[in-house]
Amino acid sequence: MKTISDGLQRLLWATAAIMLAGGSAGAQTPTVAPAQTRYVQGSWVNLRDAAQPQARVVAQVPANTVLEQLTERDGWCAVLYRGDPRLGPALAAPVQAHVSCQLLADQPLTLARAGKDAARSFWVAPSPNRLRAYGNALPRPASLQIAALAKTHALDAPVVYPQRPEWEAAKKLMRAGVLLRPEQEIDRGAPVNPLADVQLATRAVDHLPAVAPLATRPVLPAITPSYFRSHDSVALLHETDADGLAAVAGTRISVIPTGTPVGRFARHSGPEIEYVTGFWDVGTADQAFAPPLTVYAIAQQGLVGAHAVRQRMWDISNDAHYCGGHYPGRAFNDPGEEAQPVRGYAKLSDTADVLARLVVPGKLPPDAVKVRSTRYATSWTMPADPPIRDKPQRKNTAVTVHEIDVDRDSVADILRIDVPAPGSMSYEPVFEWRWYLNINGQWFRAGHWVDQECT
C-alpha cells in the first residue's frame, strides 16, 4: 500500500501536473490548490495505484467514504484516502490512489438517492434491517439458487455461501454496533383521524355473520400538544422493530451472527426445501443493545412496568406467517424472558392486560398513568352449531377506545382502539388493535395487531 506524507505528497502531485503540461518544477514555485472533499457514490469502490482500470487495487471503500481529490485528468481523479471509521481506525498515513471521477460527488449520498440499491443504502445508514436487505441482494451463483438447492440440500442441511470482502466489512461494522437516526427508521406518515379506522363488518360475508352497527358513534376529546412533542420522542413496540426502537432510545445496536443458513420447507409441504433461513451467510443472529434497551409497559390499571433488554434473538427464519395473532407490519414482540425487570417500576404479572409498550429517549417516570376506557356496544348472531349451540345465539361485545394519559394532564398521549369481528371458526370475538400517538397535538398511526383463529 502506497503512503506518503501530506505536504510532500501535494507537492509531488502539483509538480507532476506541471510536467504533464510541458512546464518544469524549477521554472517557478507551483501554486498548490487545496484538496477538494469528495464522497464515494458506489457501494464498494476500488482505489488504484494508477489511473488505469487494470491497475493494482490499493484499497476498497464503501459509499460515502471521504476522499481528498487533488487532480482530475481523462476521467480519473487523483485522491488521498485517510481511512474510514466504518472500516476501522484512521490510517497512520494517507494512501495515494486513483479512482474514476464518475464514482465521486461533492455531496454525501442520501438514502433517498440510494433508492432501492440495498448495498449503497446500507453504507449510507448502516442498520440491522439494511444489513439483511444487503445480504439478500447479493448475487447468488446458479448452484445457490433455490431451484438448485432443492435438488442438493435436505431439510436443515447447511447452505454455504462464498465470502465477499464488502460483506465481511459490513458484518464487522454491525457486530461492533451502530447508532441510528430516528428520522431514518420511523415514518408515521400524515396525521389521521383515528375514528376513521373504526370499520365494522356490517354485511355478512361467506359464512361469517354481519356485525351490528354501533348504536353510539365513538368520540374523542379535543387533542392538544402534550407529552410527546416530536416523532423522535417515542416509539411503540407495535409500530417498529429493533431498528426504530434503538434509534429513539439512543442505544447502540449490533448484530451477532450465531449460526449458518439451512434449508427449510413451509408448513404442509416438503420434503424439498423451499427457502433458506437468514440472509447470505448469516443463518441465525442475536441483536444486542448498549446501553440496554428499556422497554416500558402500560397496563389497563395505569401501572407502568419496565424491563431492560441487553440481547435477544433476531427472528430471521424467513418462515412465512401461517395463522394466529400477528402484526401485519414492523413490530417488536414482547421480549419476555430475554428482558430483566428494572427496579423502581411496577411488577406486572404475565397475565396483566398491557395496553401499550414503548421506549423513550430518556426515562419514563414510574408514576402511574391515567387510563380511560370507553366501550361502544355491538353484537352479532352466532349460528346454531350442535352440540356447541343448539340454536342461534346473540353475541354481545364492544369497540373499546383506550385513552392513555402519560403525564396526567387530561390530554391523551396514546390511543388503542379495539375493534371486534366474528372468529372464522368459533364465531367468538377476535380483535383488531390499532395504536395512535399524540405527536405535538396531532394523531399519527403507530401500530396494528390482527387476531386470527387457526385450524
Helices (H) and strands (E) counted in the chain, each on its own, are: 8, 20
- Kindly give the residue spans of alpha helices, DSSP state H, lying in 77-127: 111-114, 118-124
This prediction has a pTM of: 0.90
* Residue pair 385/395 in contact by the 8 Å Cβ criterion: no
Between 21 and 276, the more confident residue is 276
Q: What is the pLDDT of residues 411-429, one digit of tens each?
A: 999 999 999 999 999 999 9
Cβ-in-10-Å burial (0-12, 13-18, 19+) of 142 comes to: exposed
Mean pLDDT over residues 144-160, rounded? Answer: 93
Mean pLDDT over residues 159-181, rounded? Answer: 97
Cβ count within 10 A of residue 160: 10
Helix (H/G/I), strand (E/B), else coil: 167: helix
Question: What is the pLDDT at residue 30?
Answer: 36
> Phi/psi at 357 (nearest 5 deg)?
-125, 140
Question: What is the pLDDT at residue 320?
Answer: 82
Peptide bond preceding 271 in cis form (omega within 30 of 0): yes
Query: What residues contact residue 258 under an 8 Å CB cut-off, 6+ apart?
Result: 284, 285, 286
Asked whether residue 451 carries a pLDDT value surpassing 90, the answer given is yes
Question: What is the pLDDT at residue 436?
Answer: 98
Q: What is the pLDDT of residues 299-314, one digit of tens each?
A: 999 999 999 999 999 9
Residue 319 is placed in which grid cell? 418462515
Asked whether residue 22 carries a pLDDT value surpassing 80, the answer given is no
Q: What is the pLDDT of residues 128-137, one digit of tens each?
A: 999 999 999 9
Q: Measured between alpha carbons, how far is 349 from 327 in angstroms, rounded to an integer?
A: 23
